Amino acid sequence: MEQEFAVPLCLSNAGNTKVGRVWTFSLPSFVTCPGASAWCRQHCYAARFERLRGNCRRAYIRNLALSLEPDRFVADVLKSLPEDAPLVRVHVGGDFYSAEYCASWQGICQARPGTRFWAYTRSWVTAALRPALEQLRSLSNVEVLASLDPQMPPPPESWRTAFIEIDPRASGMPCRHQQGEVDSCLECGYCFRENAGNVVFKVH
């Protein structure tokens, strides 16, 4: 089960059958997704979830509003996230939408060296965001994977990649949850293990 941060900020540990009981933080989909392709918008599971769960959509909008005030955002996340939280999934929905927002997460991750953070992003395709993402993913307690779909160019070689199985370029380990091998990401651990390799997802 997953837990979402909730303050005025929505950081949660409420549970999600896939991720496992880890902390998660989300933003509204589409408006925070500068790298989203048409394919991604068409298949976005987060947007479907937000349509079904209006309370979550509203919480994610509040998270976005707060994130526009970087100092307050960083302070509120650090206040909401327990010191001993082992693992945070950044963005079950939403994405890194600006360099300033990436820098906020850099500050959060640096302040919590004992916590592991992981994220999938299409924002790598936006040149203006790449330097901030490179800085974020250079931290030893952070794994950022480049999400890729058939409409996107390949990411830089050094990036771990999260493929969609219908992409002819797909190579890597099939997601163990989707294969029925594990109950959750927490049990699997592959994506947030340092330099573990690429992952391949089925279409949601």
Burial 51-76 (b: 16+ CB within 10 A, else e): eeeeebbebbebbbebbeeeeebbeb
Min dist CB 184 to ligand SF4, Å, is 7
Tell whether residue 109 is a contact of ligand SF4 (CB under 6 A): no
**Inter-residue contact 108 to 124 (CB < 8 Å):** no
Q: Give the residue, chosen from 176, 194, 197, 198, that forms a contact with ligand SF4 under the rule CB under 6 A.
A: 176
Tell whether residue 88 is a contact of ligand SF4 (CB under 6 A): no
Tell whether residue 66 is a contact of ligand SF4 (CB under 6 A): no
**Inter-residue contact 10 to 63 (CB < 8 Å):** yes
Q: In sequence order, which residues have a C-beta less than 8 Å from that of residue 82 and are 6 or more positions away?
A: none
Give the SS3 label for residue 116: strand
Tell whether residue 116 is a contact of ligand SF4 (CB under 6 A): no
**Number of residues counted as binding ligand SF4 (CB under 6 A):** 9
Min dist CB 74 to ligand SF4, Å, is 26
How many whole angstroms separate alpha carbon 76 and alpha carbon 36? 28
Pairing mode, strands 87-90 and 142-147? unpaired
Q: Give the residue, chosen from 177, 197, 202, 203, that forms a contact with ligand SF4 under the rule CB under 6 A.
A: 177
**Inter-residue contact 117 to 109 (CB < 8 Å):** yes
Tell whether residue 39 is a contact of ligand SF4 (CB under 6 A): no
Q: Give the residue, chosen from 14, 61, 72, 190, that forms a contact with ligand SF4 under the rule CB under 6 A.
A: 190
Tell whether residue 87 is a contact of ligand SF4 (CB under 6 A): no
Please identify, using beta-carbon distances, which residue of 133 and 185 lies nearer to ligand SF4. 185
Using the contact rule CB under 6 A, the part of the chain among 21-29, 40-48, 93-101, 184-192 near ligand SF4 is 184-192
Q: Which residues bind ligand SF4 (CB under 6 A)?
A: 175-177, 182, 185, 188, 190-191, 199
